Amino acid sequence: MPAPSSADTKYLEVHGTKWRVVINVPRRLQGKLGTKLKRALGTDSLSEANRLKWDVVAEFKALIQKAQNPAMSKDAAIALARVKAMEEARRLSRQRLFALTTEERQRIDDRIEDRAEHLAGEPTGVGDMGIAEYEPERDALAMQFMAIAKNTETPIDFHHDKYMSMTSVKARTAADDNRAIKHLKAWCEAKGLPATLQSITKRAAVRFCDDLHELVGTRDPATLNKYVSRLSVYWAWLEGRHEVEFNVWRGRRFKKPMQTTDQKERPFTDKEMVALLAGPASQAMHDAMRVAALSGARLDAIVCLRVKDIQNNNFVFKPQKKEPGPRLCPIHPDLVEIISRRSEGKQEDDDIFPEWPGPKKEGSLRERSFKTSNQFTEYRRRVGVDDQKEGKRRSSINFHSFRRWFATKAEQADQPEHIIATVIGHKRNGITLGVYSGGPLLEQARRCVEAVKLPDLTSPG
C-alpha cells in the first residue's frame, strides 16, 4: 500500500527536531546559489511540513529559474515576480487565517500592506483628484496581492499547480483538468465575473453548466461531464484543504439520452469475428486481435506488453481505468505460440508489440495504442465489419468489442460472473488475483479463460 501524501518526504529533511525544505541547485548555478537551497518550516510534524512546503518549493524553483535566465525579458521578469508575489500572498493568508489574537492578525495585516506598497512601487504621478497614480501592471499586482493575502479574493487557478503536483493522473486527464480551468476562466470573463473561487457559487456553477456546451463546442454529455468531473475533483481537493466551503460541482452531471438496444456498443458476432480473424491483416494485427479476444484485455494494455510482463504462463497487464495496480490474466493455450514467437531472443524490457512504439512527439497526450486503434478501424471497415448508426459518431463495434465478445463467451460457457469480472479487470467486491502465480482464484481464472474458444475460421459463419 502506498504511503499517504502526509507521509511524503519529497523536498524535506529533518534538521535537529524540525523539518525544513531542501532543493538541490543545478551544478552550473552552484557558484551563484550554493549547492542546496534550504528553509526551515518551524514544525516537527511531517503532515504540517507537507502542507507548508509547497509555497517554499515554488519560491525556490522561481529563484532557480531566474538564475538560469538572468537576461530574461521584462514580461518574463514580471511573470516571475507575480508568481513569487502570489506565493507570498498565499503564505500570509495562511498565517492570517490561523492568527489566534487580534494583535497578531493586525501585525500580519501591516506586513501585507507594507508588501503591497513595495509591489506597487513609487507613484508615477498624481491624478485629477489628488490621488497618487502607479504603473498599471504593478498597481494591479499589488491589489491582487492584498486581496489574496487578506483572504478576500483567490484566483480560480491559484492552487491548481499545487493540486496537479499532488495528483497522479494520465497526461490526457491532466490536459482535461487544465482545459476545464481554462473554460471556467473564459466563462467568467465573458460574464464579467471575477475569476475567483469566491465568485463560483452554487448558482454560478449551474449557469456555467448551462453555457458549457458553447465553450466546448458540443452538447455531447460525455464530453461535458468530463470537464465538470475534473472541476469537481479539484474543488473536492480545495474543500479538503479548507480553501472553499463546499464543492459546488458535486452532483452536477449531464444526463445521457436513453439508448435503445441497437444503439449501444456491442460485442462482435461470430460471423464478424471470422471476417476479422481470417482477413488480410498484418501479422501484428492478427496477433493483437487474438490476444484481445482470448484475454478480454484493453488495447492499450496489450500494445504496452513487454517480455517481463509474461510470467509463469500469465500476462501481467498494466493498470487501466481505475484498476489499483497491475492485473494478472492467465494466457490462453491458443496464445502460447504467439507470445513465444514474439518473446524469442528479446530482453526483459523489450516490447511484445514493437510495431506500435507510441507517439514520437515529446509531450504527446495520445496513448501508445492510438495508431493501433486507427489501423484496426481501417482494417475492420475494409473487411466489411461495421455498424454505424445514423446520428452517432462512433460505430457500435470497435476494438473494445473483442473484450465484450470475450465476456459474452465466458458467460455462455457458464463461468461465474465474479470470475469473469476478475479476469477482465472490472470492479468487484473481495480479493483480486494480485500478482501471485498460484492459488485457487488463479486456477478459476485459468478455467474461465480456457472456456472461451475462437470461432471456426473455416466456417462461413
DSSP string, 378-429: HHHHHTT---PPTT-SS-S--THHHHHHHHHHHHHTT--HHHHHHHHT---S
| pLDDT band of 430, cuts 50, 70, 90 | very low
The whole-angstrom distance between residue 27's C-alpha and the CA centroid of its chain comes to 32
| CA quadruple 369, 372, 374, 375: dihedral, nearest 10 | 180
Residue 60 confidence (pLDDT): 82
Q: How confident is the model at residue 226 (pLDDT cuts 50, 70, 90)?
A: very high
pLDDT number for residue 261:
44
Q: Is a pLDDT exceeding 50 seen at residue 166?
A: yes
> Which tops the pLDDT comparison, 6 or 349?
349
pLDDT digits (tens, 9 = 90+) for 336-361: 999 999 999 999 999 999 999 877 77
Lowest mean pLDDT segment, chosen from 121-125, 136-140, 325-329, 389-393 = 389-393
Say if residue 439's pLDDT is above 90: no
Instruction: Give pLDDT, residue 287.
Output: 96
Question: 442 or 200: which carries more pLDDT confidence?
Answer: 200
Residue 386 C-alpha cell reads as 461495421
Q: Torsions phi, psi of 306, nearest 5?
A: -120, 170
Cα 346 off chain centre by:
32
Least confidently predicted of 113-117, 235-239, 304-308:
113-117
| Residue 347: per-residue pLDDT | 94
**Mean pLDDT for the stretch of residues 135-153:** 82
**Of 31-40, 72-81, 134-143, highest mean pLDDT:** 31-40
Residue 278 in this model has a pLDDT that exceeds 90? yes
Residue with the bigger pLDDT between 199 and 90: it is 199
Q: Quote the percentage of the chain above a pLDDT of 70.
A: 87
User: Interior CA angle at 127 toward 121 and 129, to 5°?
Assistant: 125
* Lowest mean per-residue pLDDT among 89-93, 242-246, 265-269, 419-423: 89-93
User: What's the pLDDT score for residue 440?
Assistant: 57
Secondary structure of residue 137 in the 3-state scheme: helix
Q: What is the DSSP letter of 29?
A: G
Higher pLDDT, 171 or 396: 396
**In the prediction, which pLDDT does 229 show?**
95
Angle made by CA atoms 96, 50, 154, in degrees to the nearest 5 = 40
Q: pLDDT by residue (tens digit) across 186-198? A: 999 899 888 889 9
**Does pLDDT of 436 surpass 50?**
no
Which range among 90-104, 257-271, 384-398, 400-414 shows the weakest confidence by mean pLDDT? 257-271
Look up residue 21 and give its DSSP letter: E
Per-residue confidence (pLDDT) for residue 411, from 0 to 100: 94
Check residues 410 and 145 and name the one with the higher pLDDT.
410
Q: What is the mean pLDDT of the chain?
A: 84
What's the whole-number mean pLDDT along residues 303-328? Answer: 84
Range 316-324 average pLDDT: 75
Which is more confidently placed, 14 or 4?
14
Task: Read off the pLDDT band of 260 (50, 70, 90).
Answer: very low
Contact 433, 445 (CB under 8 A): yes
Domain boundaries, the chain: 5-149, 160-240, 267-450
Mean pLDDT of 286-309: 94
Residues present in the chain in total: 461
**Interval 222-228 mean pLDDT:** 92
pLDDT at residue 431, rounded to an integer: 40
Burial of 135 (0-12, 13-18, 19+ CB in 10 A): middle
* CATH 3.90.100.10, applies to 267-450: no
> What are the residue ranges of helices labelled H in 169-278?
171-191, 202-216, 221-240, 270-277
More confident residue, 406 or 87: 406
**77 pLDDT exceeds 90?**
no
Q: What is the largest CA-CA distance in the chain?
A: 94
Query: Does pLDDT of 31 surpass 50?
Result: yes
